[in-house]
Chains A and B, each alone.
Chain A
Amino acid sequence: MQEQNIPNRLKLARVERNLTQAELAERVGVTRQTIGLIEGGGYNPTLQLCIRLARATGKSLDDLFWNRGED
């Protein structure tokens, strides 16, 4: 089964905080490549990482990962 990647607003949240991909990666303990892939929809992060990303960007999980158009 093809894994479906979830569109997200991580890039927007990161830019709002004036963070580079490398800086955000450092804060949440992953590689810059992983952040790039998450932003591009090429990798689905675990819930643990989602929570760390939400904390680092000051957003909620809904803000980052919930697509309200699908409600």
Chain B
Amino acid sequence: MLFHPMRIDERQRDTTRYAAAIWLGVTQLLLVGVIFYRLYILGQPDEQIRDFQAVLAISLFGYMGLQLFLGGIMPNPTWKGAVVMYVVLAGAITIVCLFIYGWPKVEEWTNTWLPALLGPAILVVAYMAIARLGHWRIERQIERMSQ
């Protein structure tokens, strides 16, 4: 036998999770770097980095969503709270974009107003759904265990 058999114990599983979390962060940062490099150093147009942007968005939001869902302790906003969250988010994005790009042309609304107003709505609804599902899952788990 060339090697002793490897034993995976709880500490090793902890280490694996820790390493995975750190390396996920590094990978996401590298992806951000690639996007900036292609955009601003190579001067590639937006359309040529859509795949990288999609992978980065799925990775970031998937990770955060899974954490929220599995943790099950995220604050659950009321509908009023959700509306406030949406107004703040959409307002901040709109103001920043207006400062950077100026007032957009009306015919470009699918590329300007739509993502600025629809994006935050999707984020807020997804957050609410995940927070509620997370709470529901944990409560069900506790209920099952106490039976």
Contact = CB atoms under 8 A, between A and B. Distances in A.
A29 to B, nearest CB: 7
8 contacts: A25-B7, A29-B7, A29-B9, A30-B10, A31-B11, A34-B10, A34-B11, A37-B11
A45 B7 CA distance: 16
Nearest to B6: A31
B12 interface: yes
Interface of A: 25, 29-31, 33-34, 37, 43, 45-46, 48-49
Contacts, number: 23
B10 A31 contact: no
Contacts of A43: 11
A41 to B, nearest CB: 14
Contacts of B9: 29-31, 34
Contacts of A49: 10
Interface string B93-134: 000000000000000000000000000000000000000000
A10 B21 CA distance: 31
Given A33-B11, A34-B10, A34-B12, 6 more contacts: A25-B7, A31-B7, A31-B11, A34-B9, A43-B11, A48-B10
A31 B11 CA distance: 9
B49 to A, nearest CB: 38
A37 B12 CA distance: 12
B61 to A, nearest CB: 26
B97 to A, nearest CB: 37
B106 to A, nearest CB: 51
Contacts of A31: 7, 9, 11-12
Contacts of B7: 25, 29-31
A66 B7 CA distance: 28
B5 to A, nearest CB: 11
B12 A46 contact: no
Contacts of A34: 9-12
A46 B7 CA distance: 17
A43 B12 CA distance: 11
